[in-house]
Structure 1
Amino acid sequence: MSVRVLLVDDQPLLLQGFAMILSVEDDLEVVGQVTDGARAVEAVVSLRPDVVLMDVQMPVLDGIEATRQVVAAHPEVRVLILTTFDRDDYLFEALAAGASGFLLKNSDPDDLVDAVRAVAEGHALLAPEVTRRVIARMATPGAGEPPGDGHGIPLPVLTHREREMLELVARGLSNGEIAARAFVTEATVKTHVSNILAKLGVRDRVQAVIAAYEAGLVSPRG
């Protein structure tokens, strides 16, 4: 089945451009285009998209608040924030609102397509450099304190192999990169990651990464 995508941006030319990029893919279907956050919230109800490609700065209702309302009412819908502004406040507010990914509008078209697919599959999308910013903000120990000892969260419930996989995820590697490094198939990596999320009781890869840093499995400098 095709991934149903709702586009949200207050610039019609950008909407058309995103629609053209995504519509040529056989597995992606653009089901709607709206120009503000309030219409996005309404459109999710009527169009039932799998992924919402959401701008941040829009009239009536901004993308952050629209994301918060969409995720609260429809937790199965994934929101991918797309913005021209590489600002930490947007990044952290979007993640706190429940967004599954954050991408800049100057990204390559192929990266946009890959991001929609990844988010639709339930993965959180953060580049390694963005992951480091998240960790610095959300999982840095207090001044002078060492990182955790690996027991601050229930990491012991993970198998040795799952801990290895979580460490690679926390370092920003994709499933394909992890598979190549661990000499397993990408399907095996997906299974391990799903098991890790379930055991840790977290929603997505971003929360799993934060858990790994908080537990001291990896450090921001590692």
Structure 2
Amino acid sequence: MNDTEKISVIIVDDNPSAIEGVKLLLSTYNKFKVIATFNNGEELLNYNNIHICNIILMDIEMPVMGGIEAAKRISFLYPDTKMIAITMYQHRLYLRDILSAGFHGFVNKGRMAEDLNDTINKVNSNKRHYPKDLNI
């Protein structure tokens, strides 16, 4: 699979170790290409090539601009962009916020290794994806 056939991903998280962990996890598959990483939503919104990515993986809680606010703006500016929230929270209150912000799915940080590949594939195929064990 060449780079033009791979699913292009942007990672947004204020924790450099989390970014590196996601990059490492994605590298274990031969179908993802990380095209950019950012430390908060404001940095992401200043990026001129959001429109070329397939998926944005974004933390919810970040300084400067969190994932919910950034997702609302991206949904308005780039309505075809697919976003997946990365969060430690698994409660219906957060699900409502995530859905209303424009995310297409989310992955719990504690289950990244088990769920990230499937979540990206489903969201990239225009499906919504939420954890099976969601506390709703």
TM-score tier after normalising by the smaller chain length: 0.7 to 0.9
TM-score calculated relative to the size of structure 2 = 0.88
Is the contact between residue 13 and residue 19 of structure 2 (CA under 8 Å) also seen in structure 1? yes
Alignment: residue pair count: 131
| Helix, strand or coil at the partner of 1:65 | helix
Write the distance in 1 (CA, Å) between the matches of 2:120 and 2:19.
Answer: 15
SS of equivalent residue, structure 1 residue 75: coil
Q: Which of residues 90, 93, 115 is equivalent to 1:89?
A: 93
Contact 2:106 2:119 in 1 (8 A): no
Give 2:67's aligned residue: 63
In structure 1, what is the equivalent of residue 77 of structure 2?
73
Which protein is richer in helix relative to its size?
Answer: 1
RMSD (Å) for aligned C-alpha atoms:
1.6
1:4 and 1:14 map into 2 onto residues whose CA distance is: 18
Q: 1:20 aligns with which of 14, 19, 24?
A: 24
What's the secondary structure of 1:106's corresponding residue?
A: helix
How far 1:9 sits from its partner (Å)?
Answer: 0.4
Secondary structure at the aligned position of 1:107 is classed as: helix
* Alignment partner of 2:128 out of 121, 124, 131: 124
Q: Greater RCO between the two (CA within 8 Å, min separation 6)?
A: 2
More strand by share: 2
Identity %: 26
TM-score by length of 1: 0.55
Cα displacement (A) at 1:128: 4.2
Aligned residue type for 2:57: L
Q: Deviations over 1:129-182 (max 9, x none)?
A: 53x83xxxxxxxxxxxxxxxxxxxxxxxxxxxxxxxxxxxxxxxxxxxxxxxxx
Larger Rg: 1
CA contact (8 A) 1:53 1:81 kept: yes
5+ residue gaps in structure 2?
none
Matches within 5 A, 1:165-180: none
2:36 alignment counterpart: 32
User: What amino acid is aligned across from residue 85 of structure 1 in structure 2?
Assistant: Y
Matches within 5 A, 1:1-222: 1-43=5-47, 45-47=48-50, 48-130=52-134, 133=136
Q: Secondary structure at the match of 2:10?
A: strand
Cα distance, 1:35 vs. partner?
0.4
Q: Amino acid of the residue matched to residue 65 of structure 1?
A: E
Superimposed CA distance per residue, residues 41-90 of structure 1 (whole angstroms, 9 cap, x where no aligned partner)? 223x3252110001011011110010111111111111100111223332
What residue ranges of structure 1 are gaps of 5+ in the alignment? 134-222
How many Å separate the matches in 1 of 2:131 and 2:20?
A: 26
Equivalent residue of 2:110, what SS?
Answer: coil
Q: Return the offset for 1:110.
A: 3.6
